[in-house]
Structures are given as C-alpha cells and as structure tokens.
Amino acid sequence: MSSSPFVVDLPRLGIVPVIDLVVSLGAIVFLSIFAQWTYQQYRFLSQWPVLNKAGFFNASKSKEAFQQNSRSLLFDGFAKSPRGYLVDTDLNRQLVLSPEYANEIRSDPRLDFTETTHRDFLGHLPGFEVFKKNNSNAADVVRQRLTQSLGLVTEDISEEMTAVLQEQWSEETDWHELEGKTTLLEIVARLSSRVFLGQEICRNPKWQRITIDYTVNAFMAVAAVKRYPQFLHRFVHWFLPQTCKLRSQVSEARRIIQPVIDQRAAAGWVHPGNESGKKYTDALQWMHDLSKGKEVDFAIGQLGLSLAAIHTTTDLLTQVIYNLCQHPDMIQPLRDEIAAVVGGEGWKRSALYKMKLMDSVIKESQRLKPPALLSMRRHVTKDITLQDGLFIPKGSSIGVSSHWSWDSSVFENPNEFDGYRFVRMAEDPTKEREAHFVSTSPQHLAFGHGNHACPGRFFAANELKIALTHILMKYDFKLREDADPDFFCLGWIMQSNGDAKLLVRRRREEIHLE
C-alpha cells in the first residue's frame, strides 16, 4: 500500500502514549479527589449521629416521618448528641447544630442564606421566582428603606387598621363568632399592602387574594414537587396542578401591578435628577430607587415582600390573641399601657417603643411558638472547622435549633406563658438589650441571628403593636369553649391553629385611636 501524506502513523508520532499518560493522570486526579471527598464524608459522618436515615427503599417513609415527627426528632437528636446531629428531611440531609454555635457562625461568609432558600424552595423553577437567589432587591428595600421610613408609615398603618378591623370584626356589640386566624390574615394582608403598595392597590380584592393565597400555594407546590426524586423536578412541575396554579398567580400579579408601574413611568419616576413628580412612600418607589437603572420585576418583589411579611406576622398575631384569651388577666394592664402611651403621645414611633409590656407579651408568645424549629439555615460554600474542632464540609446544609426557647436552664418555667418575663429581664442592665422583641440571641432565634437576621422584624414589631392596640382598645374577645389554641409542627415549620374560633364584641373606647 502506498503511503499518503494524509495518513498519520500514531505510534510513530507517539500520540498513543501521550493519550495513555493523560488518561492515567486524569484517573489519578479523579481518584485523589474521590478519596479526599470520601475522607471528608467519613470525617463528617463520624462526628454526628444520623436520625431518620433515608435509604433507597424507605425514602418516602423517611420524608413522611420528618414531616409528622420533626419536633420529636429535634429533642431525640439532642438527647443523643448535645452538640448536634444529622437528620434526613423531605429534601436533603441537614446538620442541626446546638444554639451554642449561633454566635460563632452568625456572620461567617462561608455560610450562604440565599442559596439555602433557593434550594429548599425550588427557586430555579417557574412560579417559584420569589425564592430565586438574587432575583429581586426586596431585602434591600426592607433594610435600606422600610426600616428607615417606619415613622412615616405609622399613621397610615393605623388608618388602614381602623378600616379593615371594622370590616372584619364589625361594630356588633353582642358576642359573635369569627374565624380567628382567617380574619387576622385579611387584616395583616391589608396593613402590609398599604405600606408595600400604597392606597392604589392595597384594597384591590384580587391583589389581596394573591398576597394571601400565594404563600400557602407556594408551600403546597413545593411539597407536591418534593414527592418526586430531585432529577425529575424540572419536568414534573409543568404538569402538577399546584405548580400550574402558582405560575398563574405570578402572571396575575404582574397584570395587576403593571398599570401602576406604567402610570408612574409615564409621569416620570421621582429621583435625584427628576424631582417634579410625586414621591411615593411605598415599596414600589423604594424598589425603583434601589434599582439604579436596572430592570426590576416589581411583581416578584412584591410577592416576596408579602410572602416574608404576611403569614409570619399573622401567625404571631394569632398566637398572641390565643395567649391573651388564655390569660385574660393580661388584657387590662395592656389597655392601661396603651391609654397612657398613645393617649399621651399619639401615633409616634417613640410611643410604640414605650409599650414595654406589649413588647414583652409579643416576645413571650414568639418564645413559646417561634416560626420554626430550626433557624439560621445556611448552605456551606467552603469547608469549615469549628473552634472545637468539629468539621463541616462544603455543600452541607446546616441550621441552628431553637430548642433553648424551652430549656429550663435558660428560661424559668419555660413551658408557661409569662407576659412579664421580658419586662423583668429588661430591668437587668446586663440583659436589657436581649429583652427587646426585635433583639436576637442564641436563646431567642425566632428572627435568626447575625448578618442574615430578619431585616423586617422592626416593621413587624410596629405593625403588631398597632394592630394589637386597635384590637385591645376596641374589642373584647375570647376563645369559643371548644376551641383548640395549640399549635402544630409540619417539618421545621411551627403553625398556630387556624381552626380555633373566636368570639368578639365591640366595646366602648377609652381613647380614640383615629
């Protein structure tokens, strides 16, 4: 056979040995990485016991056990391993740390909060954009605008509370029955929307339904998708009725908000270069201010604000009302405090700060029933070795337990409601700062702790105090005799009972809050 200049003799050129060498080196590198990963996993797993262990054949049972028995798992875990343990949840394996680590990890840059939310709540899927990492500037809006504007919106919230409370609880002076949590949800949704969207949309019934239903539907949709293996999530979400409904609500939210955005854009958004238009004190204006010319998804931002604010605040307000129904001796002292403070100062932000007893009652209700069993949930972006030598590898999911809230070594009579608990704590100069409702600490992790502590807690505090002021001064209320005010747990989430019925009646006011 004649040779051709286009035929390459591989052995003569030595290419085959080179390929063999590259393959060998690649195999060595792969085995080295695999060996390192295996060692890290062994090192990690050897430190922590694993609870509710999910295997190939019992994965669905493990998920169900976590959903139904999370509180028992929490306490069982710390009985076996006081520093922490691993537990298989409905999505992944979670490292649950003792609160003793809260201060050490609270601002560690290797722990990512937004990644955890993105992963746990499927932020990569359509309809779940509110959970997507870095998808909106809602957190910056709360941190940089809402908190600084609380003094400007106090009277707006009070004005809206007057209107919505009359609608929901009526002017009837005889005892009448209400769906307690349902009416409180409608109230909080209106108050929050008044601040987030102003009067243009806050009383729009379609928007009210979306802000209330979207959060519930989102969690139902997450649960529906998680029933399937992770590799199927990108496909099954297109066909599940829960996720279809969620995408539909996002589209409707955009249809409602867009005309307002178009109107403001046509008039010229107010900014340092254009002061001729009207300056709005609401989150739409703040989102625009912070966008710095970048495109903003106002609907997703608003849904994110509503999701973060409405249901958590409603849940706490409901629990406070239940606790006051069970401890009616607290009601008159609270009314006396309101009459003295608001009656003397009116609706100033400083007046809300001076409601020390109300602050204590709210914090005590939150201590007994925080929003979740696990706080400070983070995704580990780099290997971490804690000060005591414990190792946490990159890629882990971690969180800090809230169980010190019910620990007798931390709180005296921890299972009993004591409305004056944090009033007394504030009298100790060394603990005064921790006694405030908005303060975070390893002993009270309801708002998280550190850099990622809930930025909206200051707004929530004002909103709760204004709502409670109107309710206490305008109405008598009690639980129906057969009502069950006990909360329940579903996974890490702790929820007040939505089925308990309230009896209310209009009373004569000592002071006029309007």
Query: What residues are designated binding site for heme?
Result: 454
Long-range contacts of 234-238 (CB under 8 A, 24+ apart): 234/124, 234/125, 237/122, 237/125, 237/126, 237/127
The 10 Å Cβ neighbour count of residue 514 is: 11
The structure tokens listed for 313 are: 């605040």
CA 346 to chain CA centroid, Å, is 31
Task: Return phi, psi of residue 212, to 5°.
Answer: -80, -45
The C-alpha atoms of residue 184 and residue 203 are separated, in whole angstroms, by: 16
Q: What distance lies between CA 249 and its chain's CA centroid?
A: 20
The answer to whether 219 and 305 have CB atoms below 8 angstroms apart is: no
**From CA 447, how far away is CA 459, in angstroms rounded?**
13
d(CA 49, CA 85): 5
Numbered residues of the known binding site: 454
Phi, psi (deg, nearest 5) at residue 279: -90, 120
If you compute the radius of gyration of the chain from its CA atoms, what whole number of angstroms results?
Answer: 27
Distance CA(490)–CA(69), nearest Å, equals 8
Nearest to 364 by CA among 307, 335, 322: 322
Q: How far apart are CA 394 and CA 363, in angstroms?
A: 35
Nearest to 242 by CA among 257, 230, 226, 253: 226
